[in-house]
């Protein structure tokens, strides 16, 4: 979300405000130095007042920016741009006043107008930037003309500058002209560069949108194909089951052996297809329905799903849940399933008599769930890949032929859809710890693509072939 043009704009707006704090401070410091150390007879009180004004309206703009960005809706770019334009205009007026009270056209700080033009060129549209340039030139010209004509008093810089410089028509015209042309040239160059950058940004955003869309089409395709395959698989298994279970009468052992193998393979495939369906559905779903639930309950039921399997390998599952773990908002079915899948992985890749620890830590705004085992671990160079779809670590494949390679992709998908993070620490032969951090209140609008609108998670567990159908969120 941080890469959107709006987010960039807001970041720039904050940056702009930070710069102004520095500018206000600099005005105070330079005025102090100029009057106390250099003894330049400038109007210090007026300059301090301008610095104060600068700080005051900066504060107002900061509060305004905080307010508009606090809401849940994205801030329209036009609002940010308008505010930026207003700030630049204020800055130009402040700088004009500053220059006027410190020597007018004699003041070398006159060239600071160019900074503003560069900022305008970056932040604003070309037209708005040129309007700012026109304002800047008008202010400079006004200061020069009014002081030259004597309509406003000239505040002399004292012995540092010739007494009559502001009265010298050639000097005044020359400075004004050079400055004005520099200003327009600066704006022209800055806007040219920034509009080229903006075009590229837009092109990248468009490409990205296209990729997201294509990814969605791909997911839909995968979903449909997988769904179709599942239909055939269901039929295959429906036909094999009664035979293997003897419903149709006794089957000679030699035949039963082969039929049962076929059934088991169809079962494995069905598990895989279900996982793939689940993952694609999750990717295609616009929004997942979230409710508040106790994380403790989710963990407890997840543990109960793997207990039987853990028991067959004499594996102990230790639970340590913070008393304050409390409520989180999320899709309980998915969260529970994710924890159960991670636990199932730990059971699968632990040695007989092993230990698995699940720990839930209250972190205030977030909840940390860690699942640690002392199983076979993951080779170091393969850790970054284990969240990839269909990826299975080499040692995992060697230990267990069956596995979809989708469990961790699913886990990542679930955690990311909740605005959380998931990571793995592992040492081959020593064990693995999977950690997931879930926000108590996931931000809204985490969804990606359009398309199908699924409400609820179909329960999927490796090896249990979706038997957990009736698990319900509270």
Partner 1 sequence: MSDKQKILIVDDDPDIVEAMKVVLESRKYDVSVAGSGEEGLALAKSVRPNLIILDVMMETGSKGFEVSRKLNADEDLMKVPILMVTAIKEKTGIGFSHESGDDAWLPVDEYVEKPLKPGELIKKVEALLKKNPA
Provide the binding-site residues for partner 1, judged by CB under 8 A: 227, 230-231, 233-239, 241-242, 245, 247-248, 270, 277, 281, 453-458, 466, 469-470, 472
User: Closer CB to partner 1, residue 345 or residue 404?
Assistant: 404
Q: In the structure encoding, which two tokens stand for residue 54, read together?
A: 């600068």
**Strands, E, within 381-454: which ranges?**
421-427, 431-439
CA of 53: how far to CAs of 46, 64, 91, in Å?
10, 16, 10
CB 238 → partner 1: shortest distance, Å?
4
How many residues are recorded in the chain? 474
CB 334 → partner 1: shortest distance, Å?
11
CB 245 → partner 1: shortest distance, Å?
5
CB 282 → partner 1: shortest distance, Å?
11
CB 431 → partner 1: shortest distance, Å?
35
User: Closer CB to partner 1, residue 96 or residue 457?
Assistant: 457
Question: Are the beta carbons of 380 and 395 closer than 8 angstroms?
Answer: no
User: Closer CB to partner 1, residue 302 or residue 459?
Assistant: 459
User: Closer CB to partner 1, residue 263 or residue 412?
Assistant: 263
Q: How far apart are CA 96 and CA 51, in angstroms?
A: 13
Q: How far apart are CA 375 and CA 421, in angstroms?
A: 23
Rounded to an integer, what is the distance from CA 303 to the centroid of its chain? Answer: 32
User: Closer CB to partner 1, residue 164 or residue 455?
Assistant: 455
Burial class of 151 by CB neighbour count within 10 A (0 to 12, 13 to 18, 19+): exposed
User: Closer CB to partner 1, residue 154 or residue 274?
Assistant: 274
CB 248 → partner 1: shortest distance, Å?
6
Closest of 233, 309, 238, 240 to residue 277, by C-alpha: 233
Q: In the structure encoding, which two tokens stand for residue 247, read together?
A: 């419903």
CB 254 → partner 1: shortest distance, Å?
22
User: Closer CB to partner 1, residue 151 or residue 470?
Assistant: 470
Closest of 276, 227, 274 to residue 413, by C-alpha: 276
User: Closer CB to partner 1, residue 298 or residue 459?
Assistant: 459
Instruction: Report the helix count and the strand count for the chain, using DSSP H and E.
Output: 11, 7
User: Closer CB to partner 1, residue 255 or residue 324?
Assistant: 255
Task: Tell me the three-class secondary structure of 124-184, residue by residue.
Answer: CCHHHHHHHHHHHHHHHHHHHHHHHHCCCCCCCCHHHCCCCHHHCHHHHHHHHHHHHHHHH
Task: Tell me the three-class secondary structure of 173-230, residue by residue.
Answer: HHHHHHHHHHHHHHHHHHHHHHHHHHHHHHHHHHHHHHHHHHHHHHHHHHHHHHHHHH
Q: In the structure encoding, which two tokens stand for residue 14, read together?
A: 């904050």
User: Closer CB to partner 1, residue 183 or residue 270?
Assistant: 270
Burial class of 73 by CB neighbour count within 10 A (0 to 12, 13 to 18, 19+): exposed
Give CB contacts under 8 A, 24+ apart, made by 64-70.
65/10, 65/13, 65/14, 65/17, 69/10
User: Closer CB to partner 1, residue 238 or residue 314?
Assistant: 238
> Among all chains, which residue has been given the structure tokens 């070309």?
126
User: Closer CB to partner 1, residue 284 or residue 434?
Assistant: 284
CB 336 → partner 1: shortest distance, Å?
15
CB 376 → partner 1: shortest distance, Å?
32
Beta bridge partners, 431, equal 427
């Amino acid at each position: 979300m941080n890469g959107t043009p709006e987010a960039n704009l807001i970041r720039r707006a904050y940056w702009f405000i930070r710069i102004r704090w520095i500018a206000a401070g600099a005005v105070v410091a330079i005025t102090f130095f100029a009057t106390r150390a250099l003894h330049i007879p400038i109007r210090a009180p007026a300059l301090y007042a301008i610095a104060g004004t600068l700080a005051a309206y900066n504060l107002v703009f900061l509060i305004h920016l905080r307010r508009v960005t606090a809401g849940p809706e994205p801030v329209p770019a036009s609002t940010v741009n308008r505010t930026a334009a207003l700030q630049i205009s204020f800055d130009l007026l402040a700088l004009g006043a500053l220059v006027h009270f410190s020597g007018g056209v004699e003041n070398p700080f006159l060239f600071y107008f160019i900074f503003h033009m560069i900022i305008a060129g970056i932040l604003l549209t070309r037209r708005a930037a040129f309007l700012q340039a026109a304002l800047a030139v008008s202010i400079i010209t006004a200061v020069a003309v009014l002081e030259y004509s004597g309509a406003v008093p000239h505040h002399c810089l004292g012995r540092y500058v010739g007494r009559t410089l502001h009265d010298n028509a050639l000097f005044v015209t020359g400075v004004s002209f050079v400055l004005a042309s520099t200003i327009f040239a600066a704006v022209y160059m800055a806007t040219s560069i920034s509009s080229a950058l903006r075009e590229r940004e837009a092109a990248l955003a468009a490409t990205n949108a296209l990729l997201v869309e294509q990814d969605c089409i791909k997911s839909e395709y995968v979903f449909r194909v997988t769904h179709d395959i599942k239909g055939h698989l269901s039929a295959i298994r429906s036909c094999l089951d009664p035979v293997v279970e003897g419903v149709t009468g006794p089957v000679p052992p030699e035949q039963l052996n082969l039929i049962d193998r076929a059934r088991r393979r169809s079962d494995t495939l069905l598990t895989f297809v279900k996982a793939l369906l689940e993952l694609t559905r999750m990717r295609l779903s616009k929004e997942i329905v979230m409710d508040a639930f106790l994380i403790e309950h989710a963990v407890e039921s997840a543990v109960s799903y793997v207990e039987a399997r853990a028991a067959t390998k004499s594996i102990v599952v230790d639970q340590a849940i913070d008393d304050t773990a409390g409520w989180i908002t999320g899709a309980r079915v998915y969260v529970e399933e994710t924890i159960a899948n991670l636990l199932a992985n730990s059971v699968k890749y632990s040695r007989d008599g092993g230990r698995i620890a699940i720990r839930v830590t209250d972190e205030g705004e977030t909840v940390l769930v860690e699942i640690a085992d002392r199983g076979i671990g993951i080779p170091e160079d393969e850790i970054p890949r284990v969240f990839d779809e269909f990826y299975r670590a080499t040692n995992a494949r060697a230990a267990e032929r069956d596995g979809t390679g989708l469990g961790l992709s699913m886990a990542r998908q679930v955690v990311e859809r909740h605005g959380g993070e998931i990571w793995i620490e592992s040492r081959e032969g020593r064990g693995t710890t999977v950690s997931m951090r879930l926000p108590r209140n996931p931000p809204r609008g985490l969804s990606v693509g359009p398309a199908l609108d699924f409400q609820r998670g179909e329960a999927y567990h490796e090896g249990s072939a979706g038997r957990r159908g009736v698990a319900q969120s509270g």
